[in-house]
Amino acid sequence: MQRTIVREVSVEGIGLHTGHPVRLKFKPLGTGMGVVFQRVDLPGQPMIKAEVSSLLSVKKNPRRTTISFNDVQVQTIEHLMAALYGLGIDNILVEIDNNEVPGLDGSTLGFVEALKKAGIAEQDAQRRIFKVTTAIWVTDEDSSIVILPSSDFRISYTLSYDHPVLGSQYMDIRVDSGSFEKELAPARTFCLQEEVDALVKSGLGKGANYENTLVVSDSGVVKNKLRFRDEFIRHKILDLLGDFYLLGMPIKGHILAVRSGHTLNLRLVQKIKDQMERQLMVAIRSIEGCSKGSDIDATTIMKILPHRYPFLFVDRVISMEEGKRAVGIKNVTINDNFFEGHFPGRPVMPGVLIVEAMAQVGGVLMLSPAENRGKLAFFMAANNVKFRKPVVPGDQLRIEVEVGKLRSKTGQVVTRAFVDGEVVAEAELMFALVER
């Protein structure tokens, strides 16, 4: 399920690059909204969604991840984004009164502590997860990053510097909330001592000091101590997590990175985003084809709807009139997991799940018009619900859905479910249409 915070919480600090004092206020946000920054210091308090389309070039904004909309920017967001990824927070409003996220101690610890203090709550909507199905990679001279299919989320990182202290390091970690907080969150940002002057000349690092940035000389860390023997590589993985959360969803895949930084991370993120959009277009073309007599199978339905086992209750859409009418099928079998408890010795499909199956067919129909493609259809309300006959294992639900009202942000449908030509349920359903 999607997650947000329970209550407001604030964080204050100094921007690592600008040196400006800045105050953040985290606020809860509704389902499907994602991570949204709001510049409360500017007229109109403009908002910027933290997503791939908002990225600015790392070449123009080196050593940090920056998002922008209509010339309004928020920079150095990677540590905060990593904290949100690690804690599994999907929807949150970040009010900020300057153009750079505070550096705090150079790690994500301050953000993690504040967000946990605010409390984290599940929301009534399923999380979207990007499951890697084929290898995707980018390279640049001696740097590379590739993501492979995997049953979980894993990162294997190789750090290689021609430097007596940094040298070569390797770390392999399965990323979950526990490993994130213990192994990654405390790791601080770093730079080489010989880079300091160049950073200052380029107008960067104005808020950096020996406390919030590990400065590495040929003999060791200057005026500080390491939290981990391999703290440098751990922070590289932290940056990678923050960059990848611009996809707006967690990942199931195995990332193998060699000397990768923000530039290469974000190139791969963009490539993944492009693949996701291609998958969506396949789903859209399937919808278009269905109106010409073909149907939509379960695999394609899962590209249109966010539902997954055990909560996907439509096996096929056999007929579609775009923006008007759809017919879907749900095969009811004794293997459906809800029959174990409903009811032992007398299996009956719960009425609420029949309504859910009707709503899912309705969701596919809602997304068929061109203006709604790429959106999500959230089930809002059910009116005039009636159950006419029990549905049992061996039945096939034929679900007919017709559009009543369809607007840019909401839709209403009238739906009936049949078994062997007899009506078993009917309802009027309301949907909210939101951007992915």
Contacts of 258 (CB under 8 A, 6+ apart): 142, 143, 144, 145, 157, 158, 160
Q: Cis peptide leading into 343, omega within 30 of 0?
A: yes
- The answer to whether the CB of 362 falls within 8 A of the CB of 377 is yes
Is residue 323 within 8 A of residue 403, CB to CB? The reply is yes
State the DSSP string of 125-191: SPPP-EE--S-EEEEETTEEEEEE--SSEEEEEEEE-SSTTT-EEEEEEE--HHHIIIIITTPPPEE
Sheet holding 316-321, edge to edge: 316-321, 325-331, 396-406, 410-419, 422-435, 375-387
Residue 144: name the closest of 298, 256, 239 by CA. 256
Pairing relationship of beta strands 325-331 and 396-406 according to DSSP bridges: antiparallel
Residue 110 contacts by C-beta under 8 Å, 6 or more apart in sequence? 11, 13, 102, 104
The span from the CA of 257 to the CA of 170, in Å, is 10
Q: Which residues contact 267 (CB under 8 A, 6 or more apart)?
A: 138, 140
**Marked catalytic residue, from 17, 163, 262, 307:** 262
b/e per residue 333-370 (b: at least 16 CB within 10 A):
eeebeebeeeeeeebebebebbbbbbbbbbbbbbbbbe
- Helix, coil or strand: residue 386: strand
- 342 included as an active-site residue: yes
CB atoms within 10 A of CB 41: 13
Of the residues 20, 163, 307, 342, only one is catalytic, namely 342
Q: Residue 166's closest CA among 234, 220, 227, 238?
A: 220
Residue 284: HSE in the Cβ half-sphere, 13 Å Cα cutoff: 14
Is there a catalytic annotation at residue 254? no
Cα–Cα dist 256/147, whole Å = 6
How far apart (Å, rounded) are the C-alpha atoms in residues 17 and 38? 20
CA dist 210 and 224 (Å) reads: 7
The answer to whether residues 171 and 230 touch, using CB atoms and an 8 Å cutoff, is: yes
* Residues designated as active site: 262, 342
